Each structure stands twice: as structure tokens, then as C-alpha cells.
Amino acid sequence: MSQTPAPEVGAVPNDGGAVVGPAVTDDDARKDAAHDPGVREDAVPEASAPDVVVAEGEVPEEQVAFDINDFPGGARGAIEAVLMVVDEPVTEMSLASALELPVEDVARHLHALAADYDEGNRGFTVRSVAGGWRVYSRSEYAPVVEKFLLDGQQAKLTQASLETLAVVAYRQPISRSRVSAVRGVNVDGVFRTLLTRGLVAEVGAEDESGATLYGTTPYFLQRLGLGSLDDLPALAPYLPEVDVLDELAEQGRA
């Protein structure tokens, strides 16, 4: 007398005796057998959602999808929102990448925003400074802003710091000894102040002497409201040339 083989664990027999339905894993079968030695033909495991496979070392990324035209203010409103949270000037390319817009459209919107603020006599504007765009308070309101921020305190650079900064700006890259030769005094203390405030930074070293060279920073351009060093006033002709600086520096070391 022939015997019909028992169906696989977790499978459901149809009317013809054929086995249909998914089979469970070996681990699940062992668990089933531990609780009930008999084969349960009506046991059907619930379907589970497939696992997301992530390659080793990779982190799943969640990208925010949006249509720029869905925002109440459109592209200009989105640009304003970004400019309100940046700590330093942001380039047109960076804005275009974030907003998924052509660079030309971003530039057009920025100039339009600046024109709208000017026409509306707003207390702020957007300007291109140090190669990027940022929101700035209008210069006409400087006394109000200064009084609010400083509350009567003076946070201006000393005359010595201003003179040293000017030499660096117009003759960069330049070493401390050359700056000292121009001013006729030791500038180590002044340089520490300028470095602390982020107005100057090390930019390299001289090939022959190995002396550290200094130059101005993008923050220097921001503070002066300049787009680049080319916008500096024509003061360089009044400063000694490099060969004269070397001669003065040698005399100072003699």
C-alpha cells in the first residue's frame, strides 16, 4: 500500500495533492518541530517585506525631492531662505546645485532680489562679496547696527593693526620681517591680533629663507565689502617695492 509523502513544512496542499505555496526556512522548520512534532499542513507563514540590501560601508541616503515652483515665493523665495542661513558668501554654482536650477537663472534672481531691496528701501540687501552672495545690512544703517551690537564698546582695529593690514593687503604674500621693515617697528604682536581675527593667514614660505609668508583672507574681503583684491583703492604706488623692502629688512637685522 503506497503512502503519500508528507508535504513540505509550511506548504499548502491543493485538491489534487500537489504541494503549492512558499516553503519556510530550515530555522523556521526546526522551531516548528520543537513545538509540534507533527506536520501542520495548514500553517502558512506570513509574507514579510523584502530587506533593503546595502553594500558594506555604504549608508542609505535620503534625498529631499521638491519642485521649486511649489514654494509660495518660487525660486526667489528659496534663494532668500538659503541666504538667511549661510555663515559666509555662497557661490551661484552652489545655489544652482542646491535648488536644481541653471546658474544663469540663479544669477538673474539674485540681481533681481538686490534691485527689489534697493527699490523698497529695505534695511538689508544681497551683495556679491569675496566670490559669493550673502545678505548684508545696508551701509546707511551702520550707526544703528553698531550701537546694537557694540552697545557703546569700541571693537575697531588700532592704527598699528590697520597699517600692518594695509601692507599685507598690497604687498602679499609678504613675510613679517618685510612688514616690520616698512613700518619700522616689530609687528609680531599686531600679527597675532590679525591672525586671531581671521583677517590674515599663512599662505606659504619663501624658497630661500624659509620665512613664513602671509596674505589676506576671504573674511578680509567680506569686512571691507570687496569682491576681490583688485577692488582695493590705488594705494600700492605709495608703498616701497619688494627690493626696497628687502634692503630695509637687511638694515633692520644689521
pLDDT tens-place string over residues 68-102: 878 888 889 999 999 988 878 999 999 999 888 99
Cell of 15: 485538491
Cβ–Cβ under 8 Å, residues 169 and 234: no
Centroid of chain to Cα 98? 11
CA distance 114 to 112: 5
pTM above threshold 0.95: no
pLDDT tens-digit profile of 179-207?
988 888 888 889 988 998 899 999 998 88
Cβ–Cβ under 8 Å, residues 46 and 10: no
Listed range (4-18, 120-134, 150-164) with the worst mean pLDDT: 4-18
114 pLDDT more than 90: yes
8 pLDDT more than 70: no
